[in-house]
Amino acid sequence: MTKKDLRQRIGKLRKSLSDTEISVYTEQILDKVVKSPEYIDATELFVYVNYKQEVPTLPLIRHALEKGKRVAVPRVEGDIMEFYYISEEEDLEPGYMGIWEPVIANVAEAKNALMIMPALAFDSNFYRLGYGGGYYDRYINEHPESNFIKMGLAYNFQYMRHNYIDAEWYDRQVDVIVTPDKLYRRSELESGKANKKNKNILDDIELFVLDMDGTFYLSEDIIPGSNEFLKMVTDSGRKWMFFTNNSSKDKSLYIEKLAKMDCHITGKDILTSGDIMIEFLKTQRPGKSVYVMGTPALEKSFKEAGIDIRQDISESADIVVVAFDMTLTYEKLEHACTLIRNGAEYLATHPDINCPVKDGFIPDCGAFIAAINLSTGKTPRITGKPYHETPEMIASVTGVPIEKIAFVGDRLYTDVACGVKNGAKGILVLSGETKKEDVESSDVKPDMIFDRIYDIGKALKAKGGFP
């Protein structure tokens, strides 16, 4: 089922109800809301104005203003949404979004705040499934430090017991869902056994090894809450470091890229699959000549490490190293295949098939490996994630035992597998390549699953992970 199909289905169910039924069901929902401790204790409300099939919120706005609560509603202008305070019902601009009063509400500083969120639908995991624009959900993502409780409003048919469609990256979980029949709290429905297991796993972790593409950022955009996660890990007395299988850049370029995201690190805070390959060549293949099918940045790293690289296509080489080459040409691919056919050892930095970017994916090293394998009939030795060379080097560099390390990333077959197949922990985040349904069909099972790394930090704090 697509989101369009879901819209049509919800629309038909909504139209099948009489005005009287809608009025009764809406009154039942709002009665449960105003009697809930979440609403009673809130001094500030951020209320989504309803749209099309959603539960109307105007009666709730009216009630909150009468009770002296501070109320803010949204205005969308282009791709930007902000909440604005209103002082009376007349401040609401006609239409389903926007108001006249230009006083911006600072959601980050809101205290005892409750966010009221009608929606097209909610799935069984409490994800709010919007209409596709994701304005509201992106707004929450952009303010991860905010402490408001999120309450969803839904007619019975809008709270689905089965997940007919997958939540998008911008679809957020709510804490409470209110239907005509019942008020559901996510914390009460979550398994106590699962919470205990998660707490035990987190208690054992001393070092979080973070993937970058699809985990900390997407292309040039930081994933909301990523910097906050680093602070929460540090505050808990644990360590973190970056490790990326992306061998297209050297450390200095990653350090520069992260600095633009207000994440300031040094060379000791990051390793790449290129670093693992360099260490392997220096210790396991000393003195061997190497042809690097990689970017100029990776070639530079090999040169600076003292590797004898042979990049002229007229030269032979003992070893071919295939990497994530974003400058790949047919000539380079042809030369690599020829050397391998002629007996050169075939190595590769990492097996990732695709690299996640903001608008989808681009071919990664694994795609190049597949082409070379088909052409030559050979397969490479790979040293990056998920192979044992990576956790062994990280344990050596940091002094943290492998069993106390957690590999965190968006890919089952590299990030998670590097943990679970080598005696460490593997934590999956759903902010990049892997979707929830992929886990069931995979033989690699993560120890834990989160929407994004910020949620790991919240779990640390909620489960007593802070001293």
Half-sphere exposure of 365 (CA within 13 A, CB side): 28
Q: Are strands 319-322 and 354-357 parallel, antiparallel or unpaired?
A: unpaired
Query: Residues 386-401: what's their mean pLDDT?
Result: 92
Q: What is the pLDDT of residue 338?
A: 97
Nearest to 406 by CA among 434, 436, 430, 428: 428
**Per-residue pLDDT reduced to its tens digit, 211-231:** 998 999 998 899 999 999 999
Q: What is the pLDDT of residue 165?
A: 67
CA distances from 326 to 243, 254, 329 (A): 19, 15, 9
Q: What is the pLDDT of residue 101?
A: 38
Query: Residues 134-142: what's their mean pLDDT?
Result: 59
Q: Is the pLDDT of residue 113 over 90?
A: no
As a whole number of angstroms, the distance between CA 59 and CA 62 comes to: 5
Q: Is the pLDDT of residue 179 over 60?
A: yes
Say if residue 209 is exposed, middle or buried (CB neighbours under 10 Å; 0-12, 13-18, 19+). buried
**Per-residue pLDDT reduced to its tens digit, 205-215:** 999 999 998 99
Q: What is the pLDDT of residue 77?
A: 66
What does pTM read for this prediction?
A: 0.56
Query: Residues 33-59: what's their mean pLDDT?
Result: 85
Q: Is the distance from CB of 153 to CB of 178 less than 8 angstroms?
A: yes
Structural domains of the chain sorted by starting position, each given as residue range(s) with its CATH number in brackets: 3-189 (3.40.50.10420), 193-245+386-462 (3.40.50.1000), 274-382 (3.40.50.1000)
Q: What is the pLDDT of residue 250?
A: 79
Q: Are strands 183-185 and 345-348 parallel, antiparallel or unpaired?
A: unpaired
What 8-state DSSP symbol labels residue 435? Answer: -
Query: Residues 118-140: what's their mean pLDDT?
Result: 72
Q: What is the pLDDT of residue 340?
A: 97
pLDDT band at 102 (very low <50, low <70, confident <90, very high): very low
Q: Which of 155-164, 231-240, 347-356, 378-387 has the lowest mean pLDDT?
A: 155-164
